[in-house]
Amino acid sequence: MAVLFFPQLLAICFLVAPIGYVMAETPAMPGAPAMPGAPSDVPSDRCEVRQAAWFAVAAYNAAASQENYAYKLTAIVSSQTQVVAGLNYILTTELGLTWCMKAQAMDPETCPLQVNGKRLLCRFVVYTIPWEGKALLTEKTCIDVPPSPRCFRRSLKEGTR
């Protein structure tokens, strides 16, 4: 009986496995529920998304940035949340260099941007445990954003670049 059962089971596995593979590789239909644990797009203007972004920028200014001046958030390009043992906020942001020194006890969000200052495009992951009031910047990757051609030409004319 076991000998007959095994080949039949094996045949069923070979028939069903490709269906599972195709379903796993097929992108989700718009409006379909996301896979559990998968990142989901969320509006960037949500209060908790903005708070996570400000937290990430403050942590970046405190530990990662080698600049003497503080960066401030200029835009949230995209935002996602992911349910894990808490909640991950996966953010792509634009930062601009301000005129406020990092050593000053000022809020960088109130500081003016440097006109031809450095700009960064950053990907941050902020891990939160909301019911414990905890947040941690778990990933930070930033790259320089080159000046736009118009700004670059103007800065060359002015001799400031």
Contacts of 55 (CB under 8 A, 6+ apart): 126, 135, 137
pLDDT at 105: 66
Strand order in the sheet with 87-101: 40-41, 69-83, 87-101, 119-129, 134-144
Looking at residue 6, its pLDDT comes to 44
Q: Is pTM beyond 0.75 here? A: no
Q: What is the pLDDT of residue 143?
A: 96
**Splitting the chain (161 residues) into consecutive groups of 10 residues, what average pLDDT does each group show?**
45 38 44 75 96 96 86 96 96 96 81 92 97 96 82 47 40
Q: What is the pLDDT of residue 1?
A: 47
Alpha carbon distances (Å) from 120 to 68, 77, 142: 15, 12, 6
Task: Determine the Cα–Cα distance for residues 111 and 92; give it in Å rounded to an integer.
Answer: 21
Q: What is the pLDDT of residue 118?
A: 93
Residue 140's nearest CA partner among 119, 121, 118, 114 is 121
Burial of 87 (0-12, 13-18, 19+ CB in 10 A): middle
List % helix, strand, coil for the chain (3-state, nearest 5). Answer: 35, 35, 30
pLDDT at 113: 94
Q: Which CATH class is domain 40-158?
A: alpha beta
